[in-house]
Structure 1
Amino acid sequence: MQQIAGKLVKVMEECSNIRKNGINDFHHYKYATSADVLEKVNASLVRHKVATIVAPEITSSNDVINNKGNAEHLVTVKVNITLVDTESGESIVVTGFGSGQDGGDKAVMKAQTAAIKYAYMLSLAISTNDDPEADSRTDENVSSPLEQPLKRENANDTLLCSDCGVKVSIGVKNVSIKKYGKSLCMKCQKKSQAIA
């Protein structure tokens, strides 16, 4: 493992920072695009003669109702990426999870893309030059829509984890929205803590 580890250290140096070039107009935030991450990581892996083999696995697939009342598919994918040093034959596996939601046939592709992107970002310690915990609105006690407690409109409303689609209580959803910016079940909150 010594040779591949040395090569991965070089890849980590070359890919230590990726700019946030993507813009989410709906939620008003910038993000590192999957294309930017994969382009930079792939170029470095190729330069150091490290091949990749991606093996995706669907861990959950559910039909959910979006905010507009339309049915969509919510899929969570786990990817195992085997990194192989083509010179020594040594290999290592990195794992990532991602979720995708879509009304058509793109949920799996969205989930795979997110899983691959975050597997590389976490495994190679790639920074986007921000700190998700540095939220001045929270620090200043200024309330944003995400920080408002959610109220159930009627008793038949279904509360779902946005990552895996399981039902959650209103209390779990409220705490999750405040801490992670989205509705997560306890299991997915633990995964988010482990990743952070």
Structure 2
Amino acid sequence: MSDNKAALFQKILAVQKALEPLEKSGKNTFQNYKYTTAGDVLLPAQAACNEHGLVIIADVIESKIEPGKASCIVQLTVIDTETGESHSITAPGYAEDFSWKEGRPTGDKAIYKATTGATKYAVRSFFLLPSEDDPEKVPKSVPQNLNLLKASDAELKRLGWGNEKGKLFLQEKFGKYSRSQLTEIELQQFIAHLKALPTPVVQNAQS
């Protein structure tokens, strides 16, 4: 290992020692949980790096944008301003966005959400910042809406509706694009609307 690389890793170690456990200032009011915002992750990491002569650069090196969703790969590079030595890692990001504008779905925020998520994940991984936002963590209880979602699945299957027809119905009745955006009461109303619709009659093909 070169002297410059060793010096870089010494500075990264100093940053890891200086950083405190992540705060959670974000609040998801729909699903009632707190989360680490981009500022919670990036601002303390940037301040600690700058104090030790390091610069952080995040580049989107790969992206895929589809209607309502996007994925990307972010490359995070930490550079020693004294020697120019650097070290990089990559992190994936994915997000969905079902926002509407002028009566049609746009999904234009999906790529920005995916990029932000990937950058947060890259910084946390680079400096080994612990967080309770663990995707492998088993939830303490089953979400209340799970049974309602299953009930709506059964009704959609009974009616023979595909995803697009279900989304159009949601937009017409509730002004929303996904069942995940519905409150518990709205889900119950959604199921009631579906149950009120007659089961389609299947026509037998004539030989």
Given the two structures, how large is their TM-score scaled by the length of structure 1? 0.64
Q: Identify which of 26, 29, 32 aligns with 1:28.
A: 32
Coordinate RMSD, CA, aligned: 2.5
Which is richer in helix? 2
Query: Which 5+ residue runs of structure 2 have no aligned equivalent?
Result: 100-105, 165-207
2:49 paired with 1:45: yes
- Mapped pair 1:98 → 2:93: yes
The 1:58–1:107 alpha-carbon spacing in structure 2 relative to 1, beyond 3 Å, is farther
Q: Do the aligned partners of 2:74 and 2:118 also contact (CA within 8 Å) in 1? A: yes
Question: Match of 2:140?
Answer: 136
Q: What is the rounded CA distance, in whole Å, between the counterparts of 1:38 and 1:61 in structure 2? A: 25
What is aligned with 1:116? Answer: 119
Q: Report percent identity of matched pairs.
A: 28
Task: Work out the CA distance in 2 between the residues paired with 1:61 and 1:106.
Answer: 10
> d(CA) in 1 for partners of 2:80 and 2:47?
15
Quickly say closer, same or farther: Cα 1:25–1:5, change in 2 above 3 A.
same
Other structure's SS at 1:112 match: helix
Question: 1:53 deviation in Å?
Answer: 2.3
Unaligned runs of 5+ in 1: 64-72, 138-142, 160-196
Q: Counterpart amino acid of 1:114?
A: G
Give the conservation status (yes or no) of the 8 Å contact 1:16–1:127.
no
* Residues 49/37 of structure 1: CA separation in 2 closer, same or farther (3 Å cut): same
Of 143-152 and 37-46, the range deviating more from structure 2:
143-152
In structure 1, what is the equivalent of residue 59 of structure 2? 55
By how many angstroms is 1:157 displaced? 3.1
Where does residue 80 of structure 1 map in the other structure?
A: 75
What's the offset of the Cα at 1:62? 1.4
Number of aligned positions between the proteins = 145
User: Does the CA-based 8 Å contact 1:78-1:96 persist in structure 2?
Assistant: yes
Looking at CA atoms only, which structure, 1 or 2, has the larger radius of gyration? 2
Does residue 6 of structure 2 align to residue 2 of structure 1?
Answer: yes
TM-score normalised by the chain length of structure 2: 0.61
Q: Is the 8 A contact 1:7 1:48 kept in 2?
A: yes
TM-aligned CA distance change 1:12 to 1:134, over 3 Å: farther
The alpha carbon displacement at 1:9 in A equals 1.1
